[in-house]
Structure 1
């Protein structure tokens, strides 16, 4: 049975979610430095990303939806780097709909994601958090991530440079 919390439910992402997932991600592209993508995507452009996250295995896409079926957010575990020796490491991320902030969506998604990864051959999870982002830092700390370093002024967006703090979670 999928994880639930109040009027929220978590399930594997599906192709029918593509437009809503793209719209949510595009909000963060246009409005924030949380992602370093600078140009919005069309659903067709975003489709390969969606397909790179099957329903099983170490690279997952989980979505949270409300009682009305609307997308509240999503979490992913993705390949950390493309070289073979990195196969047991994943990069995780959570994006919540702007109107869903503070409702426990990120916690529900990460709870489900790490439960799904428990039976996978994954040794470490990493998360890069653009600074400042206290809410994301708190969420990751709650799930056992610890800071391991900061890339200073690693990305330029909105006419300024941004730092990215890297966090690590030991899974095995």
Structure 2
């Protein structure tokens, strides 16, 4: 009887540790966001007189490693090219880093720094269908305490997304407390 009780306690501890591990993995993946490039207009030549439409859109968001960009466009009329800075400035479509033609392209931002995108149709690029996305560096791994205070980040993808992420993290913390401490 004593062996059965001891085995039950050990099994309970193993399940709690496993539950905590799963919870932590889940919380890490919840933080990634998919951004629809250009909002409801998608990836297209703008009839707007504003020449920097996509760059202004990109500046209103904070992109982090793990996020992704969703380019929605007509695959019969357009493409998305990832290019370097020089090709971005010249709308050079000859030697892209990556080419996307499916009309519903999801591009994962897997490193910090600037990422350059242009339309694969040179005339569209010349009409400012191009964008620079700056991905923030992950300071948590390199510099745990920033040297100067930073302002709070703007909403990453609207209030509803922030609420959902916050809600899931709080529920995760409660579940983690229960798993660890039996509360």
| TM band (smaller chain) | under 0.3
The structure carrying a bigger strand percent of its residues is 1
Question: TM-score normalised to the size of structure 2?
Answer: 0.22
Could you say which structure has the larger radius of gyration?
Answer: 2
The structure carrying a bigger helix percent of its residues is 2
Question: TM-score normalised to the size of structure 1?
Answer: 0.23
| Larger RCO, structure (CA 8 Å, separation 6 or more) | 2
